[in-house]
């Protein structure tokens, strides 16, 4: 019996066994290596709302939107295995988030870097950190407008493990 099921000549899904049943990937035979993943996403605002947020340096009645989103992103990365059913719980070594105002797009770009020395990667942790940080910014600013868009959340780069990846 195979550890994964091949759905065509090119793609193999690691979370399905040879019977097509959902399974958690068995990493017991893998070697622990240092793995890192970077992800990004953005929160776009109507231009007048963006100007208001930037002029206030991200401070709202609820507090600093980026400081709160930073904490939320870290907490989310640490709890990814509780949110994504087949993710392994990982002892994360480092989680970093950054926030950049983009005047041209009236947006805040959120970036996350997650690092671990383990038998499996941290792509989902980086993506979860960005997603929850973006949602936190939305939550903290929705009183100003509901015309806020979260988009372009994606993996930028991963290193370690079987192969490296970089978004073109």
To the question of whether residue 88 is assigned a binding role by annotation, the answer is yes
Q: Is 139 a catalytic residue?
A: yes
Query: Read out DSSP for the chain?
Result: --SSEE-SSS-EETTB-TTS-B-----TTSPPEEEEEEEEEEEE--HHHHHHHHHTTTEETTEEHHHHHHHHHHHHHHTHHHHSTTPPP---SEEEEEEEEETTTTEEEEEEEEEEEESS--HHHHHHHHHHHHHHHHHHHTTT-S--EEEEEEEEEEESTT--EE--
Catalytic residue among 21, 139, 147, 151: 139
To the question of whether residue 87 is assigned a binding role by annotation, the answer is yes
To the question of whether residue 86 is assigned a binding role by annotation, the answer is yes
To the question of whether residue 24 is assigned a binding role by annotation, the answer is no
To the question of whether residue 134 is assigned a binding role by annotation, the answer is no
Binding site listing: 86-88, 124-125
Q: Which residues are catalytic?
A: 139
Binding-site annotation: residue ranges for substrate = 86-88, 124-125
């Amino acid at each position: 019996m195979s550890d994964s099921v091949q759905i065509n000549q090119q793609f193999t899904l690691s979370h399905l066994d040879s019977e097509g049943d959902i399974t958690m990937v068995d990493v017991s035979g893998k070697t622990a290596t240092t793995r890192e993943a970077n992800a990004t996403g953005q929160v776009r605002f109507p231009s007048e709302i963006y100007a208001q947020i930037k002029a206030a340096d991200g401070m709202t009645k609820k507090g600093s939107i980026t400081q709160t989103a930073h904490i939320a992103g870290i907490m989310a990365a640490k709890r990814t295995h509780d949110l994504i059913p087949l993710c392994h719980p990982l002892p994360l070594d480092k989680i970093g988030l950054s926030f950049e105002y983009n005047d041209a797009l009236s947006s805040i770009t959120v970036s996350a870097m997650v690092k671990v020395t383990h038998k499996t990667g941290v792509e989902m942790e980086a993506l979860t950190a960005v997603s929850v940080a973006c949602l936190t910014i939305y939550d903290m600013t929705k009183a100003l407008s509901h015309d806020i868009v979260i988009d372009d959340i994606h993996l930028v780069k991963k290193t370690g493990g079987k192969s490296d990846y970089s978004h073109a």
